[in-house]
Amino acid sequence: MGHQKSGKHQHRGAQRERTTSTQQSIQLPKPENAIQIDGSIKEGGGQILRNAAALSAIMCTPISVEKIRAGRPKPGLRPQHLAGLRLVESLSSGRLSGGQESSSNIVLEPGALRCGDYDSNTGTAGSCTLLAQAALPCLLFFSPNGGRDTTTLDLRGGTDAAFAPPVGYMQHILLPMLRRLLDINVTEKLERRGFYPKGGGHMSLAVRCLAQGAKLPAFNLTESGDVSSIRVHAFAAGKLKGSPGGPPCVAGRMVASAVGVLRQNLGPDVNITTEVTEETEESAFGDGAGMLMVATTTEGCLLGASALAERGKTSDELGEGAAKALLEDIYAGGAVDCWLQDQLIIFMALADGVSSITCSRPTLHTETAIELAETMTAAKFTLKSPTPGLQEPWTITCKGAAIAKGALG
């Protein structure tokens, strides 16, 4: 349940409940109208939990998720997933059953969505941006509270973590595209970066809810255009910063390697700008380095690729790998990259009307998000593969469920 302290709804994710058992598979009682979800379908990871919890809260419909992460080396809920579920429980004034580490079954019974101040702390280096992914769709469907129509969300954990979009991706690609496509009012602020293993990062969101009875608009994002410019944002913190008079920092070497690959493939006409920030103790906790590349097209599309410093890989290898990943999406001819495609699925499913996007081959994350959306809502998706012999992208089309703010629950 949501807790309130000093005017804030406090949430401490993984710190709230822990268990020493390897996996909890207790059969949980569930409401008769709960939607049954198989947590092992397709990708079988945390995305199922994030999207299912968000849709449950928005539709005010209970869910029962079983076989959570059944095919993973450590099945069941990990601290990161539990933090996301606890956050949605708090946002919706709901009740979560089975909310312990390693649990393979959960039941979420959501309540009212009301504007306010909320926070969440993974207690680990778990990704802040994955928490934001679960929360953002919910925040749009909140109801005003005491005349207030904006909700603030304070998130703590890892801002630049493996197997999750870095905070820069949310800042420079996801949120700008959502503002453009959905005309929503959402702002973000990066307070401090945090890395594995201790986390310590801090970011915040402020989201204005939709008007009563409003629906998210359908959108068409199918024309990619040509790449006109690329911005490269990089950072280094702690021990990965350069020394005065010494060689460039880890991030600087990543950037040099990536720009070399991009120039070799795209030629001199594409404007490439770079920015390397050496973080202070106030702006980052721990040791880390990373890079985000954002390609802007003549149609206003944003395509991204990122790299994060890791043991066993040189800065050159990381920079080259990220540049090649960006080039793959550019050459695929889609209007969204391989990371944005799955993050847009839930918004397409909620929208009023027919939405379409073009992209490279749909990822397993995208296929999972589609199957879940069709299970929980009236949305219907179609995938069109490229015509043999032609260089064209895939097309994902959705007839949305037209969920109206305040129409359910």
Please give the positions annotated as active site: 365
Q: Which of 51, 89, 47 is nearest to 72 (CA)?
A: 47
The two tokens of residue 249 are: 């920092």
Interior angle at CA 348, CA 344 and CA 350, nearest 5: 120
- Beta partners for residue 204, in sequence order: 154, 189
Q: In a 3-state reduction of DSSP, which class is residue 150?
A: strand
Confirm if 213 and 161 have CB atoms less than 8 A apart: no
Cα 67 from chain centroid? 22
Q: Under the phi-then-psi rule, with left for phi > 0, alpha for psi from -120 to 50, and beta for the rest, what region is 21?
A: beta
* H helices, E strands: number in the chain: 9, 19
Distance CA 348, CA 188 (A): 22
Q: In b/e form, how buried is each residue of 332-369, taking b as 16+ CB within 10 angstroms?
A: bbbbbbbbbbbbbbbbbbbbbeebbbbbbebeebbbbb
Yes or no: say if 341 and 363 are a contact pair by the CB < 8 Å rule: yes
**DSSP of 397-408, one letter per residue?**
EEE---PBTTS-
The DSSP string of 370-391 is HHHHHHHSS-EEEEEPPPTTS-
Beta bridge mates, 151: 207
Q: Are 271 and 228 in contact (CB under 8 A)?
A: yes
Assess whether the previous peptide bond of 248 is cis (omega < 30° from 0).
Answer: no
Q: Give yes or no for a contact between 88 and 62, defined as CB atoms under 8 angstroms apart.
A: no
Q: How far apart are CA 313 and CA 388, in angstroms?
A: 37
Give the tokens for residue 25: 């598979």
In this structure, how many other beta carbons lie within 10 angstroms of the beta carbon of residue 271?
11
Residue whose token pair is 């909320």: 118
CA torsion 18-22-28-34 (nearest 10°) is 90
Beta bridge partners of 354: 399
